[in-house]
Structure 1
Amino acid sequence: MRRFAALGLVLLTTACGATVAQEQGGVTTTVTNCGQEVSYRTPTRVVTNDTGITELMFALGLADRVVGYVVGPGQHRDVETSPWKADFDRVPKLAERISKEVVQGAGADLVFAGWNYGFSESTGLTPDSLRDLGVATYQLTEACRNGVGKQRGIMPPLEALYTDLRNLGRIFGVSDRAERLVAEYQAQVARAAELMAGRPRPRVFLYDSGLDQPFTSGRNAAPQDIIGHAGGDNIFGDLDDSWTTVGWEAVVARDPEVVLINDYADGDADTPQQKEAFLRSYPPLAGVTAVREGRFFALPYAALVEGPRNPAAIEALARYLAGA
């Protein structure tokens, strides 16, 4: 990835630690992404996959660099309710599933996605396959693989959010804006934490989807820090993985006091109300405290995956827990 000597570049080291190389026709910046040093010429035609990833670009004021975005059909409510709805309206939606054909058709010079957020060996769309096509990639830090099979997550989720904001700020030359966002988000998280200060920490189960087996969050996905900083404890926070499947027996054994529902259409249920109805009617859960007491709270999908809605999600959940 590092061909600076051959290109005859002038290297500069920024105060934030990124290496910037000035060359004829553009700027090259090197950042650490998923544990690897990766060099980027400043991208101008970015394809993003997923709402949270797209909103990271929009929050940084980079809508003009996004040539198109890809979101699945279950995320339409996120787009309609997004704080960056005007950017979603202005930037073309390319498809509901990302592929090499979509990327090439858009003339992309960078794809911003992540493992299970668009990148997958089963579809053949990977950072390696795109590099073979001459297209650079930036991987969502929340979804970085940690070296154990296909498990994901290499740092706490909020740290992953701040890392991506800072890396993208360096790559696109908007570090000042990135640092302002990080400071704002850290302050918002600190204020939210005060709402539950000194109170008992309820056990919280993140229910994403699944009837036979629930899909939930381990300690490396955004809900871990959303729940934790809101004043609760993720009942599956001991799992060294990101989004993962568990068994209903484990949910029952850990007896959550609150269920946090991921609001997106998953094929089994299209609304939080349908998901709640299933949980209330599923006999094995009848004795679980959250079900028995009717303590359900829903947040949008884009608030529960890594993205700029995470701090507001922490505040919203903290207010619910404090008043529940």
Structure 2
Amino acid sequence: MKIKRTVLVAVGALCLATTAACATPTTAAEPDARAGTGYPVTITNCGKDYTFTKAPSRVVVMNGGSVAEVSALLELGLGDKIVANAQSYGDSEVPGRVDAIKKLPTGDIKLNDMMDIPREAMIGLAPDFVISTYDGGFRAEAGFATREDLAQIGANTYAPQSACGEVGTVSHKPTIEDSYAMLRDLGKIFGVGDKAEKIIATSKDRIAAVEKKVAGAPEQKAMLIIPGMAMGGEFSSVGGNGIWNDIMAKAGVVNTFAGATKDMFASLSKEQVAKADVEALIVVNYQSPDSDADAKALFKEFPQWDAAKNNRYVVLSDSIYLGPSNHVAVEDIAKAFHPDVF
């Protein structure tokens, strides 16, 4: 049993829940009521203080394999502030999100080997605010403009607090609160803090409604896998410790492989996967031509899974990661794996 959102149903649900989701994504945000007197504002990011005397107007969004940052800006109605965006994913549970990202300017930048913006090109964009998906996006040794480089041309810099620290390290247990923290930071920086709080409140309400419904339902054991992102083996992109564990828990699901590694992804053998108790499957679409076929292929390979016997899976994309749409993933997972309570 697979849950698939139709555009009309998804748009209707989002419109009822929040006006932000139904606004044109690239429309300028309504300024916070305190914007005229709220500046300067100072935020602490990755251990340093950054002061903003006004809302940024020339924003550059680096790639880093994320869409959390650009999606958050669009959710806040700040698309017109972006002069160059390097983020894209190609799929989304949020109606209109993919097209909205495609319409953003790219700055006509020739990206480097990491598909990101190199130092000289970044400086040439003359930004006043640069967002990286992680603190390593400002490393000189990787060919990027450093925070110091950008400060010299008058640009403040930001990475989500959950992505601060050494490259490749996980400093804490990721949760949906990390997505809310990013929205709050950006709301404060751009003078739209009230709008950020409304988006967060709506998300919390929708998640709370799901948690109430699944509270008495038997917990499902699920495997999360990103078939198109194998990093060294067929089962090297199995979800280990990521924000998805919190998302799954709120939907009445537990990650079968949460204890298999301390890292974000578990690299497993076929034997480990075959022996696992998999009652449900979460397939994360990453540049896959047919995610349904990916699920069916796994069920054919592991027919002993309860998930295979019951054809129990759901396909997700950007909502399972850090970003403004985690409540959508909670809803879709819960509806797919606990349909009797909806």
- TM tier, smaller: 0.7 to 0.9
Aligned-residue offset at 1:61: 1.7
Alignment match, 1:224: 245
Aligned-residue offset at 1:299: 0.8
Letter in 2 for 1:143: A
- Please list the CA deviations of residues 118-167 of structure 1 after superposition, one character each: whole Å capped at 9, or x if unmatched: 6778843375575477443211234334x6x7222535421101111111
Q: Is the 8 A contact 1:46 1:68 kept in 2?
A: yes
CA distance in 2, matches of 1:130, 1:288: 53
1:125-164 pair list within 5 angstroms: 125=144, 128=147, 131=150, 134=153, 135-145=155-165, 150-164=168-182
Uncovered stretches (5+) of structure 2, i.e. residues with no partner: 1-34
Identity of matched residues, %: 24
Aligned-residue offset at 1:240: 7.1
Aligned-residue offset at 1:277: 3.7
CA distance in 2, matches of 1:315, 1:139: 28
The number of residue pairs the alignment matches comes to 288
Alignment match, 2:292: 273
Letter in 2 for 1:46: V
Q: Is the 8 A contact 1:222 1:305 kept in 2?
A: yes
Larger mean CA deviation between 273-282 and 63-72 belongs to: 273-282
Give 3-state SS (helix, strand or coil) of 2:92's partner. Answer: helix
Q: TM-score, normalised by structure 1?
A: 0.76
Alignment match, 1:59: 75
Q: Does 1:316 align with 2:335?
A: no
Larger mean CA deviation between 273-282 and 306-315 belongs to: 273-282
Q: Is the 8 A contact 1:195 1:322 kept in 2?
A: no
Q: Which has the higher strand share?
A: 1
Q: Is the 8 A contact 1:166 1:178 kept in 2?
A: yes
Alignment match, 1:204: 222
Alignment match, 2:90: 76
Uncovered stretches (5+) of structure 1, i.e. residues with no partner: 1-19
Letter in 1 for 2:50: S
Aligned-residue offset at 1:188: 0.8
CA distance in 1, matches of 2:315, 2:121: 32
Q: Is the 8 A contact 2:56 2:129 kept in 1?
A: yes
Give 3-state SS (helix, strand or coil) of 1:306's partner. Answer: coil
Q: Is the 8 A contact 1:46 1:66 kept in 2?
A: yes
Q: Does 1:33 align with 2:45?
A: yes
Aligned-residue RMSD, C-alpha: 3.2
Letter in 2 for 1:227: M
Letter in 2 for 1:136: N
Distance 1:127 1:189, change over 3 A: farther
Letter in 1 for 2:203: Y
Alignment match, 2:57: 44
Aligned-residue offset at 1:272: 0.8
Aligned-residue offset at 1:318: 0.9
- Please list the CA deviations of residues 240-272 of structure 1 after superposition, one character each: whole Å capped at 9, or x if unmatched: 75632321344334322111011121xxx4331
1:212-251 pair list within 5 angstroms: 212-219=234-241, 221-238=242-259, 243-248=264-269, 249-251=271-273
Give 3-state SS (helix, strand or coil) of 1:114's partner. Answer: coil
- Please list the CA deviations of residues 269-308 of structure 1 after superposition, one character each: whole Å capped at 9, or x if unmatched: 43312422431343xx3433323432221012x1111111
Distance 1:105 1:279, change over 3 A: farther
Distance 1:322 1:92, change over 3 A: same
Q: Does 1:297 align with 2:314?
A: yes
Q: Which has the higher contact order (CA 8 A, sep 6+)?
A: 2
Among candidates 228, 250, 263, match of residue 285 of structure 2: 263
Distance 1:153 1:61, change over 3 A: farther
Give 3-state SS (helix, strand or coil) of 2:224's partner. Answer: strand
Q: Is the 8 A contact 2:183 2:324 kept in 1?
A: no
Q: Is the 8 A contact 2:71 2:324 kept in 1?
A: yes
